[in-house]
């Protein structure tokens, strides 16, 4: 299927180079070819699709074992068991989900006497939910426990040297510290925690699947981990862009909109930073060429294209690119097995002309490039 998509791109590019008029019957035939290729791809993925019910049933047993091991009374609720995902996702998601469920019961849900003292029912509730949203699969693990103790998380991060003692972090940035390598809040080794295998392993496993994980926590109310995964791991829709003279691909699933900003939309921050003002909010701008080590485009931001993306590191972020060429299906090739891990790159694809284009990892780009004290700086800009 992947080779078929690549062959389709080859034919498209050769027709363009031949300068054949758009009215030619060849283009109508090519459109039919594209339609058939997409139908075949959807059919192949339907064959590979499996409901998450067997995975959820396995997680129910693990949750009951964890509840018995900690002496807690936990009710497990599931929703969307018939949601279908790629069989590779079902196979590889078992270990990350196991770790997250054990964490939710061990660290999230309080002991019965603590819950009673807080005015809660003695029985805690752990909810597993699967659903499809705009071309992605979302799996949520939610508990009604005490929520994240951000003060303690920050103190442990300082103690382990992960952040400076005087660092100014938002609540979301403190939550992301849970995914730092070796981070653990366990004070003693048990069957469930304290063994040095932290949430960084979970995030790595999900990122390898092309997904991302987000945290929402309210003190005293509980914590929700949301895992967003692509429906298919072999073929995806991507935006073909030009960055520093290189052709690259940005996943469509991460892009909210593309923008040609006016001068009034751009604000300076610090020595080199810039912010995009959109609908009354300030969004950090990341120069993608500069971030990836390419020569910076000398054009101003108003002469370039901004891609507004949504990531877990920063709610919204604008990627500055040189040009947008096209939107098409691309075949995802792994970089891990063929070359190695590259910061900011999630994979590669083969274009119609035979060239290789790298696929951008928007989450990694935003995480490494966004200023930690962005919120305060944005308020300062707004005030001035």
Q: What is the three-class DSSP state of 51?
A: strand
- Looking at residue 333, the DSSP 8-state letter turns out to be B
Structure tokens that stand for 120 in this block: 């809660």
Per-residue model confidence (pLDDT) at position 232: 63
- With CA atoms as reference, report the closest residue to 240 among 352, 137, 318: 352
Residue pLDDT, tens place only, 193-242? 543 457 888 888 888 787 888 888 888 889 999 988 876 666 778 899 99
- Alpha carbons 183 and 174: distance in angstroms, whole number: 12
Which residues have CB under 8 Å from 15's CB, separation 6+?
Answer: 26, 27, 30
HSE-CB of 286 using CA atoms within 13 angstroms: 27
Mean pLDDT of the chain: 81
Q: pLDDT, tens digit, for every residue of 257-289? A: 999 888 888 888 877 778 888 888 888 888 888
Confidence of residue 40 (pLDDT cuts 50, 70, 90): confident
269 phi and psi, to 5 degrees?
-145, 125
The token duo for 21 is 């008029």
Is residue 238 a contact partner of residue 249, using CB atoms and an 8 Å limit?
A: yes
Alpha-carbon 371 to chain mean position = 19
DSSP 92: H
- Per residue in 115-135, pLDDT tens? 888 888 989 999 999 987 655
Could you give the CA distance from residue 224 to residue 211 in angstroms, rounded to a whole number? 16
- pLDDT value at residue 140: 93
Instruction: List the strands of the sheet with 212-218, edge to edge.
Output: 74-79, 124-133, 136-143, 222-230, 212-218
φ, ψ (nearest 5 deg) of residue 314: -135, 130
Rg for the chain, CA atoms, rounded: 23
> Residue 27 — φ and ψ, nearest 5°?
-70, -35
Is 320's pLDDT higher than 70? yes
Per-residue confidence band for 377, with pLDDT thresholds at 50, 70 and 90: very low
Q: Between 132 and 337, whose confidence is greater?
A: 132
Work out whether strand 246-251 and strand 356-360 pair parallel, antiparallel, or are unpaired: parallel
**What is d(CA 347, CA 210) in angstroms, rounded to the nearest whole number?**
9
What is the C-alpha to C-alpha distance for residues 239 and 235, in angstroms, rounded to an integer?
13
CA atoms of 162 and 180, how far apart (whole Å): 8
Q: Which residue has the higher pLDDT, 25 or 298?
A: 25
The DSSP line for 221-289 is TEEEEEEEEES-SSEEEEEEEEETTEEEEEEGGGEEEEE---GGGEEEETTTEEEEEETTEEEEEEEHH
Continuous segment of H or E residues that includes residue 19 = none
381: confidence class by pLDDT, cuts 50, 70, 90:
very low
Judge contact between 173 and 167, C-beta under 8 A.
no
């Amino acid at each position: 299927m992947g080779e078929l998509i690549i062959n389709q791109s080859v034919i498209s590019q050769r027709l363009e180079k031949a300068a054949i008029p758009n009215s030619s019957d060849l283009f109508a035939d090519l459109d039919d070819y594209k339609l058939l290729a997409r139908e075949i791809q959807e059919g192949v993925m339907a064959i590979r699709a499996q409901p998450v019910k067997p995975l959820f049933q396995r997680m129910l047993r693990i949750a009951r074992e964890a509840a018995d091991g900690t002496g807690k009374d936990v009710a497990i609720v599931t929703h969307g068991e018939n949601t279908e995902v790629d069989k590779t996702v079902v196979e590889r998601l078992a270990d990350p989900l196991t770790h997250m469920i054990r964490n939710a019961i061990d660290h999230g849900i309080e002991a019965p006497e603590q819950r009673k003292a807080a005015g809660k029912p003695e029985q805690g509730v752990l909810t597993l939910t699967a659903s499809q949203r705009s071309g992605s699969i979302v799996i949520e693990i939610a508990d009604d426990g005490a929520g994240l103790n951000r003060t303690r998380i920050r103190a442990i991060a300082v103690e382990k040297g992960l952040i400076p003692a005087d660092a100014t972090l938002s609540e979301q940035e403190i939550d992301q510290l849970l995914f730092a390598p070796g981070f653990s809040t366990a004070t003693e080794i048990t069957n469930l925690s304290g063994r040095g295998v932290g949430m960084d392993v979970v995030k790595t496993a999900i990122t390898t699947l092309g997904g991302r994980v987000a945290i929402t926590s309210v003190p005293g109310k509980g914590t929700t981990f949301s895992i967003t995964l692509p429906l298919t791991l072999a073929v995806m829709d991507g935006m073909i862009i030009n960055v520093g003279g290189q052709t690259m691909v940005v996943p469509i699933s991460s892009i909210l909109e593309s923008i040609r900003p006016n001068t009034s939309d751009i604000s300076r921050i610090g020595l080199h930073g810039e912010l995009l003002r959109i609908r009354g909010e300030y969004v950090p701008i990341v120069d993608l060429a500069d971030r990836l080590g390419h020569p910076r485009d000398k054009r101003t931001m108003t002469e370039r294209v901004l891609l507004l993306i949504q990531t877990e590191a920063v709610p919204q972020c604008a990627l500055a690119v040189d040009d947008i060429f096209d939107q098409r299906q691309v075949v995802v090739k792994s970089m891990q097995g063929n070359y190695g891990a590259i910061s900011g790159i999630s994979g590669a694809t083969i274009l119609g002309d035979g060239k290789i284009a790298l696929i951008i990892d928007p989450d990694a780009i935003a995480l490494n490039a966004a200023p930690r004290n962005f919120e305060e700086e944005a308020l300062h800009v707004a005030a001035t």
